[in-house]
Amino acid sequence: MQIGFYFSPLRIALNPTGVGRHTTCMISKLAGSEGVSGVLLANRHSYANIASRLPSGLAQMPTTLLPGRERLMRFLLQYTRLLPIDRFNNKLDWIYCPKEQPIYTKQARLAVTVHDVVSLENNIPGMPKPSFLKRKRWKATVVQLLARADLILSVSQFTKERILQLFDIPDEKKIIVVGNGVSEQFFRDKGSEDHTVLERYNLDNRSYVLAIGGLSARKGGDTIVKLAQAIKRSNLDTEIIVAGTTHTPKNIAAVEELASFGNPLPIRLLGYVHDHDLSVLLSNSLAFLFPSLYEGFGIPALEAMAAGTPVISSNTTSLPEVVGDAGIVVEPTAISEMLSAITEFARNDQTRQEYIEIGRKRVTKYTWNQCASRALNALKTY
């Protein structure tokens, strides 16, 4: 089976978040599967600029180079029928897009991963409603995707059900749940060599809780700020450190205002953290905090389990499906319950170790090899 892999912009493979992780890992595993000949379909200019920095699974793949500028090519492939992508490589059986890009093909079949439909959701408490234009554009994208794709790969049962609820799809078998996985480097124990990383972030010999995704509304930024205030009132000697670059302005203002008056909250923003450092920070964290309001899946929760860190998660959207009984699952605004969980982990190592063990057993079900195997079986049989 010959599969062409297309995603744009190509740079999402360099500093991957959730969609970026799925993109690089699924392509690498599928391309390495027995009986598969994989080709990366990439814009000539973009590929030349970042080829040396691509993850090895992508950098070592045979590549078909597409002409023109990446943004223009992306527009032509998605929104017109002028350029079927298999025109540039007519030997392909399937085109696989690991993110929501309904590109046009003429001969090859098309498979596309849908990660979430958050831009079509109107009633998520605590989250601003998507703008009319954003909803309209996203709906048009999904409608076109459903029309063009022979196979839809969903990252969770929750996302699949939302697609079926929002759109009229005659054949439910067209949507296959493949899930997400955890990269090998997150399966680790903390060790003495972690000192270098912890020292760099000024976290050596300090108790902290880690959150990922910034202080945005979607990731529960409001809750994180309020929880930091509650930790300060409780005199618990623990701070919240936040990885990520997306922040709601009011949350940044709240943190900066108190700091300017010499009364800072026990919260620190780290910006983007690369995977090696992130795995170390997770392993040494008292707990992982994930009060997200909406997740199509929720990879960070699994990464925490793999790294040996107990999870405190909200009970919304896909998270109960992913976390199960391996974490403490609460309402996304339940500040007192989150504080109680953090306090319990700080004072009772036995409870903390119990959640670590449950989490490590659960995360073994989520590997990229398993995800790629489910996707490949779908490509072979659909």
pLDDT tens per residue across span 328-347 = 999 999 999 999 999 999 99
- 59's CB contacts (< 8 A; 6+ apart) are 51, 52
- The phi and psi torsions of 191 (rounded to 5 degrees) equal -150, 175
pLDDT of residue 261 exceeding 70, the answer is no
Percent of the chain topping pLDDT 90? 87
DSSP 106: S
The pLDDT of residue 293: 96
- The phi and psi torsions of 59 (rounded to 5 degrees) equal -65, -30
pLDDT of residue 180 exceeding 80, the answer is yes
Is 108 found in the same domain as 120? Answer: yes
Is 254 found in the same domain as 109? Answer: no
Between 43-52, 75-84, 90-99, 259-268, the lowest mean confidence (pLDDT) is in 259-268
The pLDDT of residue 290: 98
The pLDDT of residue 122: 86
> What SS3 state is found at 117?
coil
pLDDT of residue 375 exceeding 90, the answer is yes
For 239-253, write each residue's pLDDT tens digit.
Answer: 999 999 999 999 888
Is 161 found in the same domain as 279? Answer: no
pLDDT of residue 263 exceeding 80, the answer is no
d(C-alpha 335, C-alpha 325), whole Å? 20
- The phi and psi torsions of 8 (rounded to 5 degrees) equal -150, 140
d(C-alpha 23, C-alpha 16), whole Å? 9
Range(s) of the domain holding residue 165: 2-181+367-381
Cis peptide bond upstream of 9, omega within 30: yes
37-61 mean pLDDT:
94
pLDDT of residue 262 exceeding 80, the answer is no
Is 289 found in the same domain as 245? Answer: yes
Q: Order across the sheet with 239-243: list the strands.
A: 267-271, 239-243, 208-212, 287-290, 311-314, 327-330
Is 130 found in the same domain as 64? Answer: yes
Supply the mean pLDDT for the chain: 94
Query: Quick one: CA torsion of 297, 300, 303, 305, rounded to 10 degrees?
Result: -90
The helix (run of H) or strand (run of E) holding residue 242 is strand 239-243
Is 332 found in the same domain as 273? Answer: yes
pLDDT of residue 37 exceeding 80, the answer is yes
| 8 A C-beta contact, residue 248 and residue 222 | yes
292-313 mean pLDDT:
97
Give residue 256's pLDDT band: very low, low, confident or very high (50, 70, 90). confident
Domain count, the chain: 2
Is 146 found in the same domain as 81? Answer: yes
For 55-107, write each residue's pLDDT tens digit.
Answer: 988 999 999 999 989 999 999 999 999 999 999 999 999 999 999 999 999 99
Is 246 found in the same domain as 147? Answer: no
266-278 mean pLDDT:
94
CATH number of the domain where residue 117 is located: 3.40.50.2000
Is 8 found in the same domain as 82? Answer: yes
d(C-alpha 223, C-alpha 126), whole Å? 10
- The phi and psi torsions of 287 (rounded to 5 degrees) equal -160, 165
Is 197 found in the same domain as 138? Answer: no
Instruction: Give the other-Cβ count within 10 Å of 247's Cβ.
Output: 19
The pLDDT of residue 46: 94
| 8 A C-beta contact, residue 342 and residue 231 | yes
Number of H helices, E strands in the chain: 15, 13
The pLDDT of residue 308: 97
| 8 A C-beta contact, residue 291 and residue 218 | no
d(C-alpha 193, C-alpha 283), whole Å? 12
Of residues 209 and 123, which shows the higher confidence score? 209
Is 117 found in the same domain as 99? Answer: yes
d(C-alpha 348, C-alpha 340), whole Å? 12
d(C-alpha 111, C-alpha 95), whole Å? 6
| 8 A C-beta contact, residue 11 and residue 47 | no
- Alpha carbon distances (Å) from 304 to 28, 44, 285, 301, 378: 23, 37, 9, 5, 29
pLDDT of residue 17 exceeding 90, the answer is no
State the DSSP string of 14-67. TS--HHHHHHHHHHHHHHTSTT-EEEEEEEHHHHHHHGGGS-HHHHTS-EEEEP
d(C-alpha 167, C-alpha 356), whole Å? 39
Is 348 found in the same domain as 250? Answer: yes
